[in-house]
Amino acid sequence: MLESLVQDERLSVYVSEVTQTAKVTIYDVSRGGAGVARLESGQVVFVPWTDVGDEVEIEYKLSDERFLQGHPISWIKYGPGRIEPKCPYFGRCGGCDWQHLPYDRQWQIKLSGVAHALGRQGVIFQALKEFPAEIQWSYRNRAQLRGRGQQLGFFARGSNTFVGVDRCDVLDERINSLLPTIGQEAAAKFTGPYKAEVALREHGSVDWAFNQRHSALGFQQGHPAQNRHLKAWVARNIQGRDVLIDLYGGNGNLSAEIAGRFQQSHCVDVSVPEHIPGNPLVFHRSDVDRWLKRHAESFKGRTTSVILDPPRAGLGATIQLLAPWMERNGTTEVVHIGCDADAAARDISRLTKLGFALKDCGVVDLFPQTAHVEVLAYLVR
């Protein structure tokens, strides 16, 4: 399998862009997912699908940057910890970059990556609560697939090159079993390339939509079992009883179960449903910045508990609106969930500078077989 990987035509996607070759030994795996090696020039080169101890021939673009991207052409020797990737599309499909690492190693790299990101931002924390994934395959309840005729697949890493797949080992089998049906339906509708968004619902049905914007079927956390850990952690930490504000709240995944403890509970998201029957949250379909401006003083004199679950880039400039909003509206506690370690660490650091103290911090794995990680933080003031 590894031999066939190195000779596969997919590598030509990358080779066409590069000009130099080198033999390197991987000495680390970065939290971004790639193996790390050093060229004779002293430059650091990141090489996907590699592990510590791998000796690899790589190609890379000549540059005087300190950090370069390399692409493996062939393996001279495998490192001692490397395992056989389960999926036949490993290395071709842009999905799971870490199938060659045993799960324990994946988890340790995620943990140390988060600790490092927090440390770089000067965030002081006691210990990270750990929620590694018990279910490491067939977990994913949603996917964004690409299609050509009846053939569904994904894009290759960092490109728009189509890689057809007959199944995906991290997808829930209820989705895998419907791929032929979805492909047939699409082939009857489209002559050119298309996109298929597929989501497995909580009660077991599968929905799909073609050529819609990302998350058109509504955002849902991709790993249901790990999502239960995430929700339970939020519920354990949040103490307030007055007003709950779930910003970037989606369908209220993190707040619906605790909303009953509060006098009022609000969920704000650009793609939020108007109303979910039986759900105690008040939903606001709005951009967070606009909502903060519109409700600048709506909760003055009360005590607010705020959940923040922003997209990958973190809070960005929204913190400038949020900071005075939290002052005016009596925010005493904040839960921050971040799906990028560096962005999350930056947000947590900014919250501590606003006078919040970090009380609990953790890592939950919603994406086994990939380098993605979710950082949890609970802060009070």
Ligand X SMILES: C[S@@+](CC[C@H](N)C(=O)[O-])C[C@H]1O[C@@H](n2cnc3c(N)ncnc32)[C@H](O)[C@@H]1O
Contacts with ligand X by CB under 6 A lie at 219-221, 248-250, 253-254, 269-271, 287-288, 309, 311, 339
Q: How many Å apart are CA 230 and CA 243, to the nearest integer?
A: 21
3-state secondary structure at position 236: helix
Q: What is the C-alpha to C-alpha distance for residues 245 and 201, in angstroms, rounded to an integer? A: 25
- Which of 311, 322, 314, 310 lies closest to 353 in space, CA to CA? 322
Minimum separation from the CB atom of position 62 to ligand X (A): 38
Of the two residues 13 and 217, which places its CB atom closer to ligand X in the complex? 217
Closer to ligand X at the Cβ: 111 or 254? 254
User: Residue 249 Cβ, how far from ligand X at the closest point, in Å?
Assistant: 5
CA torsion sign for 213, 219, 220, 223 is positive
- Closest separation between CB of residue 139 and ligand X, Å? 16
Q: Which lies closer to ligand X via its Cβ, residue 148 or residue 231?
A: 231
Q: Which is nearer to ligand X, 163 or 344 (CB)?
A: 344
Residue 363 CB burial class (10 angstroms; 0-12, 13-18, ≥19): buried
Phi–psi pair at 142, nearest 5 degrees: -155, 155
* CB nearer to ligand X: pick between 85 and 250: 250
Does an H or E element contain 245, and which?
Answer: strand 243-247
The minimum distance between CB 100 and ligand X, in angstroms, equals 28
Nearest-approach distance from CB 265 to ligand X, in angstroms: 13
The radius of gyration of the chain from alpha carbons, rounded to an integer in Å, stands at 22
Cβ at position 270, least distance to ligand X in Å? 4
- Count CA within 13 A, CB hemisphere, residue 9: 3
For ligand X, the closer of residues 176 and 237 by Cβ is 237
How far is the C-alpha of 180 from the C-alpha of 258, rounded, in Å?
Answer: 40
Q: Pick between residue 1 and residue 209 the one whose CB is nearest to ligand X.
A: 209
Dihedral sign from CA coordinates of 277, 280, 282, 285: negative
Name the minimum Å distance from CB 200 to ligand X. Answer: 15
**What is the nearest approach in angstroms of ligand X to the Cβ of residue 252?**
8
Q: According to DSSP H, which parts of the chain are helical?
A: 2-7, 12-15, 103-120, 173-176, 179-189, 224-237, 288-294, 318-328, 341-353
Q: Cβ distance 328 to 296 under 8 Å?
A: yes
The nearer residue to ligand X, 138 or 286, going by C-beta atoms, is: 286
